[in-house]
Amino acid sequence: MTAAATLKTWTGAALAAPVVWLASIVNVPLKSWQRATGTGGMAAFFLAPNMAIFGIFVLVPLVINFFYSATSGTAYFLQDRTYVGLEQYQRLLDCGSYLDTATCREDLFWKAVHNTGLFVVVQVAMMTIVSIATALILNREIVGRSFWRAVFFFPVLLSPVVTGLIWRWILQRQGLLNLIVHDMGGEPYNWLTDRFWAFTAAVSVSVWAHMGFYTLILLAGLQAIPRDLYEAAEMDGTKPARVFWRITLPLLMPNLLVVIVLALIRAVQIFDEVYVLTGGGPGTSTLYLTQYIYEIGFASLLRNPGLASAASILMGLVLVVLTLLQLQVGRRGERKGARE
């Protein structure tokens, strides 16, 4: 054995020693645990640390939040707050007509609900269409394909605040877009104080920021479609549009459903980039649910933690429904995969 090989062996042994020592200590109680509980018990044992973290950082705050929603007052300590039962929920849900926010006791909450609903519908539709189109292009044999994939994924890596600021600098009155418009002889426009354009900007920026992630999921789905199907279609002289509708889209459906559900959940939670971009304005036309909760809970001088907690519980219920939908979609995909 050479000196180098000897050194390698000794180093390996030295590094492994503490692990072996630790394993020998853990081994005894683990064996007893396995004997007593079987394989199910072992699974629980290994899941326990993760569940503990989940419990401390998700479940416990959720329960505390629920208690907050049953109290009123400006104090932040639960013991200093007054128990009011479901009063905060009643206040949020007190509406003459849910379609007319002006008739609601908490009109800003319902404004945020309406805005979020519209945002979710438009943004998810746009996100899905743009992601499919991008994935289809990036799946082709184009020059610099890896480069383009990186380009489209790059915004996903940016912090939402950075994304919001970049686009704010582009779209504000004295921003880059107006500079270009002016240089081309046009009249600069105040994009972010116009309700339509502010909404369009909010949707477009969030699509730009997240489409890379969904494109990646769809790209994986496209690459899993057998090539011979396309070759057969080509031999039959099938038109490209028919190939897309009859082969690509049906076979991409499991991935597409995942994309839609994930995009739905994310759209309901929209906050940071839009908050930086429009501040919820003009007026309240891009005020979304999470911003409402943040404002009423922490930022506004009219803050009301109980009301914010109740609003977040209601929003949580919507997210639970969407998550169940996602699970359902996932299971259906698995069953279909197993059948095939």
Partner 1 sequence: MTKTRTVLAAISVSLLASTSAFAGDVRIMWYSDGVEGDVIQDLLNRFMKDNPDIHVTLDNVAYKVIQEQLPIQLEAGQGPDIARVTNIKELAQHWLDLRPLVTDPKYWDDNFGDTLDWMRPDGSKAIPGFMTQLTLTGGFANKTLFEQAGVALPGDKASWDDWINAAAEVAKSQQLPAAFAIDRSGHRISGANISYGANYIGPDSTPAKVDDGTKAFVGKLVDWTAKGLMLKDTWVSAAGSTYRAAADDFVNAQIPFYYSGSWQVANLSTKIGDSFDWVATGSPCGTAGCSGVKGGAALVAIKYTKNPKDVAKVMEYLAREDVVKEFSERTLFLPAHKGVIEKGGLKWVSTDKNVGPALDKFVKAAGETLPAADALPPWKWANAYYAALVTRVSQVMAGELTLDDAWGKVDQDIADKVAEAK
Is 193 among the residues that bind partner 1 (CB under 8 A)?
Answer: yes
Rounded least distance, CB 11 to partner 1, Å: 27
In the chain, the amino acid numbered 270 is I
What does each C-alpha distance from 91 to 292, 317, 327 come to in angstroms?
15, 17, 33
Rounded least distance, CB 120 to partner 1, Å: 18
Annotate 20-55 with DSSP letters as a single string: HHHHHHHHHHHHHHHHHHHHHHHHHHHHHHHHHHHI
Is 201 among the residues that bind partner 1 (CB under 8 A)?
Answer: no
Rounded least distance, CB 178 to partner 1, Å: 10
Q: Bridge-partner residues for 95, per DSSP?
A: 104
Q: How far apart (Å, rounded) are the C-alpha atoms in residues 97 and 161?
A: 36
Q: Which of 123, 128, 206, 286 binds partner 1 (CB under 8 A)?
A: 286
Is 174 among the residues that bind partner 1 (CB under 8 A)?
Answer: yes
Contacts with partner 1, 229-268, as mask; x by CB under 8 A:
----------------------------------------
Is 69 among the residues that bind partner 1 (CB under 8 A)?
Answer: no
Q: Which of 68, 69, 70, 72 binds partner 1 (CB under 8 A)?
A: 72
Q: Which ranges in the chain belong to alpha helices (H)?
A: 3-54, 60-69, 87-93, 107-138, 145-157, 160-171, 176-183, 195-223, 227-235, 240-243, 249-268, 272-278, 289-294, 305-339
How far is C-alpha 334 from the geometric centre of its chain's CA atoms? 22
Is 280 among the residues that bind partner 1 (CB under 8 A)?
Answer: yes
Cβ pair 69, 310 in contact under 8 A: yes
Q: Which is nearer to partner 1, 91 or 210 (CB)?
A: 91
Q: Which of 31, 145, 173, 331 binds partner 1 (CB under 8 A)?
A: 173
For partner 1, the binding residues (CB under 8 A) are 72-77, 102, 107-108, 111, 172-174, 190, 192-193, 195, 198, 278-287, 291, 295, 298-304, 306
